[in-house]
Amino acid sequence: MVIETQGLTKRYGKVVAVEGLNLAVEAGEVYGLLGPNGSGKTTTILMLLGLTEPTAGTVRVLGFDPVREPLSLKKQVGYLPDSVGFYGEMTAWENLAYIARLNGLPKAEAEVRMRQVLERMGLAEVADRPVGAFSRGMRQRLGLAEVLLKEPKVVILDEPTLGLDPEAAQEFLGMIRGLKAEGITVLLSSHLLHQVQAICDRVGLFHRGKLVLEGRVEELAQRVLGGAYRIRVGASPLEGLSERLGALPGVARVQLEGTELRLEATQDVRPQVARAVLEAGASLNSLVLEQPSLDEVYARYFQEVRHAA
């Protein structure tokens, strides 16, 4: 495991920010910490980085104890906080050069790497412009460029898409996903579930300092939505198909939605649906298994929590 915590807990006086967290992130995984404001994501990240001391429990990142071995950890773990501070009057190049110097990178080597990371983050052309004039999206990319400068094994990002417009957010998430190809382990936090859904291998849902659900997005959907499969069928003509499809084993409900039928089933009945449509003499135009969004999973989960309470 690259990141491993056991019983990790942080209290601020009477406030329990994180409680009994057991987290295990494997090498090369992209893991999303998800949860509403105040659910404990930032506190968890700060403990992983050794920037705040746990009240109880253990943390290991790349085998290091962040509190006792902060320097070894810092060499291999990159951190992008939710707002990165750069010198506005200095250019992107100068800002990176400054960081490289602080990190003790020899000048020649630093320049090669700076060129690489700026290129990679799509900032090569604006490298000589003052950062003060950069958009939030460009700043974030420069932040990631800075993180990559030290060739980290692990990258931790706190709300990386905060304040980005949807297009810039997608672009940035694509860049984060790209780190995986190099074997970098990524942990990121977000409250924008639909955004990170596509780039995370696994996600953990936080609620009031506790990890309440964890798994692959599809797994979570299965668990919370009770194994419901939703299938959309486009066929013509639609006449008589509702009854036929409704009679298939495993199909619980059929609804007409515009020019399509929407099925709820207890299993993936797409092959049976395809056969039934053709047997009815209709033509099959589309057959889609809908992936429920994480937002939906979340909403459903909290509904249940409220019901139980």
Which residues are near ligand ATP by CB under 6 A?
A: 12, 15, 17, 35, 37-43, 191
**Count of other CB atoms within 10 angstroms of residue 113:** 18
> Do residues 34 and 79 lie in contact, with contact meaning Cβ atoms separated by under 8 Å?
no
> Which of 69, 82 has the CB closer to ligand ATP?
82
**Count of other CB atoms within 10 angstroms of residue 90:** 15
Least gap, CB of 38 to ligand ATP (angstroms): 4
> Which of 55, 76 has the CB closer to ligand ATP?
55
Least gap, CB of 206 to ligand ATP (angstroms): 6
Least gap, CB of 209 to ligand ATP (angstroms): 6
Least gap, CB of 176 to ligand ATP (angstroms): 18
Question: What 8-state DSSP symbol labels residue 225?
Answer: T
> Which of 52, 91 has the CB closer to ligand ATP?
52
> Which of 35, 152 has the CB closer to ligand ATP?
35
Q: Which residues contact 55 (CB under 8 A, 6 or more apart)?
A: 9, 10, 11
> Which of 23, 123 has the CB closer to ligand ATP?
23
> Which of 17, 99 has the CB closer to ligand ATP?
17
- Residues 199 and 176: their CA atoms lie apart, in Å, by 8
> Which of 41, 141 has the CB closer to ligand ATP?
41
Residue carrying structure tokens 């989960």: 301
Least gap, CB of 296 to ligand ATP (angstroms): 21
> Do residues 185 and 177 lie in contact, with contact meaning Cβ atoms separated by under 8 Å?
no
Of residues 241, 299, 226, the one with CA closest to residue 273: 241
Least gap, CB of 40 to ligand ATP (angstroms): 4
Q: Which residues contact 225 (CB under 8 A, 6 or more apart)?
A: 292, 296, 297, 300
> Do residues 190 and 159 lie in contact, with contact meaning Cβ atoms separated by under 8 Å?
yes
> Which of 52, 95 has the CB closer to ligand ATP?
52
Read off the amino acid at residue 249. P
Of residues 142, 158, 195, the one with CA closest to residue 48: 158
- Residues 93 and 259: their CA atoms lie apart, in Å, by 55
Respond yes or no on whether the N-terminal peptide bond of residue 271 is cis (omega within 30° of 0): no
Least gap, CB of 160 to ligand ATP (angstroms): 12
Least gap, CB of 189 to ligand ATP (angstroms): 6
Question: What 8-state DSSP symbol labels residue 228?
Answer: -
Q: Give the burial string for 19-29 (b: 16+ CB within 10 Å, else e).
A: bebebebeebb
